[in-house]
Amino acid sequence: MYTILLAAGWPIWPLLAVSIFGLAILIERSWYLRKKRVLPPRVLQEAFELGLQVNQSVAGKQSNPHLADLIRAIANSSPVGSLLACALAEKMAGQPANDALEELQATAEAVWLKLDRYLGALATIATVAPLLGLFGTVVGMIEIFGSQGSAVGNPLQLAHGISVALYNTAFGLLIAIPALAAWRLLRSMADQRQRECEEFTRQLFKKLYPAANDE
């Protein structure tokens, strides 16, 4: 492998750096977007149980600091926990449904940004990698026909220039194709997690604001 990298010339090093960066994004996003990481198994049930206590507290006009601690714990547990905790906190503060929805939308935007983080960079890698490979191809062609055309009469230099051109083209495509596939996969995972978060939040919101669903 090292011999191939040497044969490809210096233009291969930017491609290698881009590939390492893309692999790091793939590993990090695959770990972060796991369902049990974004939507822990018991988080909705815990939020429902806490929502019942919040409704009772609001109905009885009682202040319960312990509930606030539990809401903060849910908020820190996962991305969907931030949304559920926002709905619970708004209900506990006595906010009407419309105001709670506005706050939920603002919180949701922050959560979606976390789910989409680095995906734009991965898409950029899929776009840039073939261009870097093309750049390496041009460099190889320059090596062939440069130096006052001496490469044409030198088989070794001619072969080196061709290898630089072909290796860089191949590496560019070898990086771009998996990067594009990984981006599509992660994009689909992020969209799926977003829909699941929205559904979890909708279910809790219906419990907290039953009157709003009848309007």
Q: For residue 213, what pLDDT band results from cuts at 50, 70 and 90?
A: low
pLDDT of 36 strictly over 80: yes
Model-level pTM greater than 0.85?
Answer: no
Annotate 170-197 with b (16+ C-beta within 10 A) or e (fewer): ebbeebbebbbebbeebeebbeebbeeb
Q: For residue 199, what pLDDT band results from cuts at 50, 70 and 90?
A: very high
153 class by beta-carbon count within 10 Å (0-12 exposed, 13-18 middle, 19+ buried): exposed
Mean pLDDT calculated for residue range 83-111? 92
Q: From CA 112, how far away is CA 29, in angstroms rounded?
A: 13
What are the CA-CA distances from residue 86 to residues 83, 104, 191 (Å)? 5, 6, 21
Q: What are phi and psi of 209, to 5 degrees?
A: -125, 70
8 lies in a domain?
no
Q: What region does 148 belong to: left with phi over 0, alpha with psi -120 to 50, or beta?
A: left
Q: Are 29 and 119 in contact (CB under 8 A)?
A: yes
Determine which of 103-112, 175-184, 206-215 has the lowest per-residue pLDDT on average. 206-215
**Angle subtended by helix axes 43-59 and 155-208, to nearest 10:** 30
Per-residue pLDDT, 148: 47
Per-residue pLDDT, 57: 82
4 lies in a domain?
no
Other beta carbons less than 10 A from residue 72's beta carbon: 13
The count of domains in the chain is 1
Of 57 and 184, more confident? 184
Per-residue pLDDT, 28: 96
215 lies in a domain?
no
pLDDT of 180 strictly over 90: yes
131 lies in a domain?
yes
Residues 6+ apart with CB under 8 A from 167: 4, 7, 8, 9, 12, 136
14 lies in a domain?
no
Per-residue pLDDT, 116: 95
Per-residue pLDDT, 8: 61
pLDDT of 42 strictly over 60: yes
15 lies in a domain?
no
Identify the domain containing residue 80 by its residue range: 20-210
Q: What is the pLDDT of residues 129-155, one digit of tens each?
A: 999 888 888 877 777 776 545 545 566
58 lies in a domain?
yes
177 lies in a domain?
yes
Q: From CA 10, how far away is CA 19, in angstroms rounded?
A: 15
pLDDT of 162 strictly over 80: no
Q: What is the pLDDT of residues 71-89, one digit of tens each?
A: 999 999 999 999 999 999 9
Q: For residue 181, what pLDDT band results from cuts at 50, 70 and 90?
A: very high
